[in-house]
Amino acid sequence: MNPVNKLSDAAKVLIGSHRADFLMALGMLSGADMNEYKQNSFTDVSSTSAAMPYIEWAVQNKIVQGIGNNKFAPDSPITREQMAVMMAIGGTILFYRGSLIRNAGGLLKSK
């Protein structure tokens, strides 16, 4: 199966999930070392949250930004529009770096 189709299938599963959940999935697909993202930029994201490094990764890679006033709204449901923007920007970054092709096969396997 085409990696882009796998990413699309994964996105369908994530519709109705939260902003943080989607970024965790995208970050895992990237293969990036999340240990590099230790500084929390948002007052509404716990420093001990499993999602925190993924959110920081996405912010630093300009995939997403906060909602203002040092807030991110990690538990807000992700909209299709937000998901489309994150996939467009994140997918371009991942494809350019080769991560999408390399990681899609193992991470998004159908069961």
Do residues 84 and 5 make contact, with C-beta atoms less than 8 angstroms apart? no
Residue 30 has a pLDDT of: 83
Residue 95 confidence (pLDDT):
65
| Percentage of residues in the chain having pLDDT higher than 90 | 48
- Count of domains in the chain? 1
User: Structural domain of residue 41, as residue ranges?
Assistant: 3-107
Q: Which residues contact 98 (CB under 8 A, 6 or more apart)?
A: none
- Measured between alpha carbons, how far is 4 from 103 in angstroms, rounded to an integer? 11
Contact 23, 83 (CB under 8 A): no
- Span 50-102, pLDDT tens digits: 999 999 999 999 999 999 999 999 999 998 899 889 988 887 776 666 554 45
